Amino acid sequence: MFLLILITLLWALSFSLIGVYLAGQVDSYFAVLTRVLLATLIFLPFLNWRTPPRIALTLIAIGAVQLGLMYLFYYQSFLLLSVPEVLLFTIFTPVYIALIYDLLARRFSPWNLLVAAIAVLGAAIIRWDNLSGDYWKGFFVVQGANLCFAAGQVAYRQFMQSSHARTKSLPPRQTFGWFFIGASIVAGIAWFALGTAKYPTTPVQWGVLLWLGAVASGLGYFLWNKGATQVSPGTLAAMNNALIPAGLLVNLLIWNRDADLPRLAIGGALIVAAVVLSEWHQRERNSR
């Protein structure tokens, strides 16, 4: 779980960076393409080009959905919503993770849904206040991002665990480049078809894109997906909502945005409780 906590702290800054420096100022499709191409360049030197086709194509498909499609929805949402609203609407990701995991496993786990629901409750307490007039449109755009991100996490976790015996000679760092190649294909098609000539104009904007691509995406998604294979589905679902209090806290401390600190504390405590509860249940089940 250490990796998930580490990347949560890393990604907490991304919400505000996108909302403050990129949204409405840089073409969202160009921003997405730049971000995933930079991440791809980080892993290309490690990529094993002799990866079995089944593994390579599966990782390309997962990357296309989890990162490529997710970013297209995600960046559009900042044109419709404020940073706190985007954070708020991500509260449903744990529910999607729990339900998709159970669907793939062909079973229903009330426990996973309970843990996800506790995390959702904690996130809702943090920031359920007045929303902008476009919030319904923004809501559905964010849900598109949530579904893609949830499906990608579950698919990667399931695939890497089921094919572990066949990939022992291929460490994740030698195959994860395929994940970013899939995202780059989607982002490239979207930019070519829908992009506009609205490029970064300041060193700060280029610096933000460099950080988001090389660090937040390149390093972040590799470690997050690796961490996803090391925890239970319930913990993975709950950790997705840990981004909300962390993101709001960064937004408050750096950009002085309004935040209700008592609700932040209560909601954050519920999310932590969901993670602890999930870990306790997993240990109990493993000890039987």
Digit-by-digit pLDDT tens for the chain (288 residues) are 788 888 888 888 888 888 889 988 999 999 999 999 999 999 999 998 988 898 899 999 999 999 999 999 999 998 888 777 787 778 778 778 877 877 877 777 777 678 777 877 776 776 566 555 666 788 889 889 999 999 998 888 888 877 553 555 678 888 889 999 999 999 999 999 998 989 999 999 999 999 999 999 899 988 988 888 888 777 777 787 777 778 777 877 777 556 667 776 787 788 778 767 776 776 676 666
Residue type, 68: G
Question: Which pairs count as long-range contacts for 142-146, CB under 8 Å and 24+ apart, including other chains?
Answer: 142/73, 142/74, 142/77, 142/81, 142/86, 142/89, 142/90, 143/89, 143/92, 144/69, 144/73, 145/70, 145/71, 145/73, 145/74, 145/77, 145/90, 146/89, 146/90, 146/92, 146/93, 146/96
- Output the pLDDT for position 165: 39
- Output the pLDDT for position 181: 96
The CA distance from 143 to 134, in Å, is 14
- Output the pLDDT for position 126: 66
- Output the pLDDT for position 42: 92
- Output the pLDDT for position 266: 81
Question: What are the residues whose beta carbons fall under 8 Å from the beta carbon of 184, sequence distance 6 or more?
Answer: 33, 36, 37, 40, 68
Query: In angstroms, how far is CA 170 from the centroid of its own chain?
Result: 25
- Output the pLDDT for position 184: 96
Q: Is 284 exposed, middle or buried (0-12, 13-18, 19+ CB in 10 A)?
A: exposed
Q: What is the pTM of this model?
A: 0.80
- Output the pLDDT for position 280: 75
- Output the pLDDT for position 288: 63
